[in-house]
Chains A and B, each alone.
Chain A
Amino acid sequence: MENVNVKINGREYSVPAGSTILDAARVAGVEIPTLCYLKEINEIGACRLCLVEVKGARGLMAACVTPVTEGMEVFTNTEKVQKMRKTNLELVLSTHERKCLSCIRSRDCELQKLCRDYGVEDEEHFKGKVNHMPKDESTAFLVRDNDKCILCRRCVGACKNMQGIGAISALDRGFDTHIGSAFEMPLGATSCVGCGQCVVACPVGALYEKDDTAPIWAALNDPTKHVAICTAPSVRATIGECFGYEPGTDVEGKMVAAIKRLGFDGVYDMNVTADLTIVEEAHEFMERFTKGENLPLITSCSPGWIKYCEHYFPEFTDNLSSCKSPQQMFGAMYKTYYAQKHGLDPADIVFVSAIPCTAKKFEVRRPGQCAAGEGIYDVDYAITTRELARMIEKAGVNFRALPEEAFDQPFATRSGAGEIFGATGGVMEAALRTAANAILGENLEKVELSDVRGTDPIKYATYKLGEHTVNVAVASGTKNAGELLNKIKAGEVKVDFIEIMACPGGCVNGGGQPVQSAAVKATVDLKAKRAAVLYNSDANNEIRCSHDNPAVKKLYENFLGEPGSHKAHEVLHTYYIKRGL
């Protein structure tokens, strides 16, 4: 691409033509402050925090939406600019509920940081009317507190532009403007899928997951309860960010050590039931593939995707794999097999999963998720990576100083296929490794399937396995999922097997993952960095295929029988609902 010459704060730089002033300033090592800007998701120039002086321009310019031109001279930090930014911050604060001490986003709030940077005190500079709205707590997964909302519309952009859903929008006008759903419906009554991408887009504390840590603390302090936890494949790749590690740091050992210090009776690896899911799902695929029934088979691990399918593509619910997600399989196995083996009453077990996801909080209370008996949920509480980090912090555990420890048996040995579950394409790759074995009678010579890797929105691949040709597709992000399904409906694409994850990039970029600022998101490829942890782990694992995992083999030998057996169906499979819009 062509470059243009610009002067930023008196120094000359050559930057790609078409860059915004915001991007160009980064080349100069200057981070211009923003609040409403979220790269490619919300570029509306509304908050006026990124104002800069441009030589020859009449007024101050919004750096996030102003492209650079040849010879442009920009001043990012003049007295005038600083004064305007401070005033704008004071105006934003004038209707913001300032309860920083108890705010969930205190310390990683973008507004709080800017107020500190610009010396905006906690005084009411602009006194006047403040609108109060009740919190929306109608969903199982998130809370909207509009008293903290600064109307940046990043959540609206994430929901509509990125995810293609649009469950929320800016409503009413002027001083009454607020973010909500159509006809002021509670979010729980809408087609919101619970992906939580609005939560990780929010710069302040107006959106956060519904906190489920209180009942877990209560259970941990109740000697009559057996409290166990498993952590999802991607949590080890991200939770370090909550403790000051660079994105893309594998902290599995320290994470396990930290959780063990919280007092759980068992700390397990969900990768084991990721492998179990693959063995069941590959079996299901082979059955459908050979019979030609209900193809394409579509993966069912992502509860946000499931809810999206039920609302927007109910005609595809029969294509969904009936396999429960790894989280639900874990709870189901724990409260049946493990409970029986150890003489535990499933009613006394509190099973917790730590997940990168907000939609999983919805999944745990879905119907068809009670293998041990009616009213005994497979998983009692699903907590996000952030909630787990808060529990560790609250317990005073010094995460960084901990030694590395290992998961507890019998749910500790995993294959590399289970490990890559947390990245887009990972479930497909894992399933194909096992399906290929079923077709060929032996493992693939090269188990790395690079065609389905990477963060492209939609990926296609064709695999020749013996006499069979298997066509697959992988989509991440519900908008891309919708695009793929529409192509299949129109007959433009014909595939046998589809993996869909609700969040762009997969679970590593889930709505329950550590929140990173807009500046970090614009400059660091979080999806790829976090996914690299999982792929490295897979590459270093001696066991590469789910069906070779001895822990999984044991579950079949001792309890389930064969993949797809009657018992497996009782414990590991579920059903879906045609919700519509």
Chain B
Amino acid sequence: MKKKMTTVTFAGTPEQELKLDAAIEKYGKDEGAIMRILQDAQEIYGYLPIEVQRMISIKTGVPLAEIYGVATFYSQFSLNPKGKVAISVCLGTACYVKGAGPVMEKICELLGVQPGETSADGKFSVDATRCLGACGLAPVITINEDVYGKLQPKDVAAVLAKY
């Protein structure tokens, strides 16, 4: 699936940039170092928006398109910040059979985002996950550390209202 780009405004700090500089210093500026720099950058910023990738490009001299190519190749890299409220919908086999699809649709509809995206205010992010190991409660979603089981689309609005 193609990676979704963010609509959340970038809010990087000078401290974060210093950490990024240190990572580049540590790994070097050749192409082979890009993956490790991106890993550190994701830890520093939480995600890899264009502002961060552009900084890496200018600081290393590696073309932005190439950095973006790496960032979109590996599923571990996210172009989207996790929301303050991070929703994960289990689309594992059991949850899927028990109707996780319609639950996901309802969540996306109410928040106005697609799976993998974050709402423009940075509050909610929605991701699909594989089996969470709570098949007995299917369909299951987690919101931050909270688990909600046996969820129906009609329950979604009430659950989201808590956040």
| Interface residue ranges, A against B (CB under 8 Å) | 160, 165-173, 176, 180-184, 190, 581
Contact = CB atoms under 8 A, between A and B. Distances in A.
Given A172-B72, A182-B50, A183-B50, A166 B2 contact: no
Interface string B71-97: 011110000000000000000000000
B69 A170 contact: yes
A184 B50 CA distance: 11
Interface stretch (B38-46, B57-65, B109-117): B57-65
A169 B2 contact: no
Given A182-B53, A183-B5, A172 B73 contact: yes
A190 B5 CA distance: 18
B24 to A, nearest CB: 17
Contacts of B72: 171-173
Nearest to B64: A182
Nearest to A177: B73
Given A172-B3, A182-B68, 10 more contacts: A166-B63, A166-B64, A169-B68, A171-B68, A171-B69, A172-B2, A180-B65, A182-B50, A190-B65, A581-B57
A250 B62 CA distance: 41
B8 interface: no
A581 B75 CA distance: 28
Nearest to B75: A173
A190 B65 CA distance: 9
3 tightest Cβ-Cβ pairs between the two chains A and B = A166-B63, A169-B69, A169-B65
A343 to B, nearest CB: 52
A469 to B, nearest CB: 34
Contact of A166 (B50, B53, B65): B65
A130 B63 CA distance: 29
Contacts of A581: 57-58
A166 B72 CA distance: 16
Contacts of A184: 5
28 contacts: A165-B63, A166-B63, A166-B64, A166-B65, A167-B63, A167-B65, A168-B65, A169-B63, A169-B65, A169-B66, A169-B68, A169-B69, A170-B73, A171-B68, A171-B72, A172-B73, A173-B75, A176-B1, A176-B2, A181-B68, A182-B50, A182-B63, A182-B64, A182-B65, A183-B50, A183-B68, A581-B57, A581-B58
> Is chain B's binding surface mostly helix, strand, loop or mixed?
helix
A173 to B, nearest CB: 5
**In which size bucket is the chain B interface?**
20 to 34
Contacts of A182: 50, 53, 63-65, 67-68
A165 B61 CA distance: 10
A373 B74 CA distance: 53
Contacts of B3: 172
A166 B67 CA distance: 10
A172 B63 CA distance: 16
Nearest to A170: B69
Contacts of A190: 65
Nearest to A180: B65
Nearest to B66: A169
Contact of B63 (A160, A173, A176, A183): A160
A184 B2 CA distance: 11
A334 B11 CA distance: 54
A195 to B, nearest CB: 15
Interface string B1-22: 1110100000000000000000
Contacts of A183: 5, 50, 53, 68
A467 B50 CA distance: 55
Contacts of B66: 160, 166, 169
Nearest to B62: A166
Contacts of A165: 63
A222 B163 CA distance: 69
B79 to A, nearest CB: 8
A468 B68 CA distance: 50
Interface centre among A165, A169, A180 (most CB of B within 10 A): A169
A172 B4 CA distance: 11
Contacts of B68: 169, 171, 181-183
Given A172-B3, A176-B2, A581-B58, A181 B65 contact: yes
Nearest to A173: B73
A160 B5 CA distance: 25
Nearest to A131: B2
Interface centre among B62, B65, B66, B73 (most CB of A within 10 A): B65
Nearest to A160: B63
A385 to B, nearest CB: 28
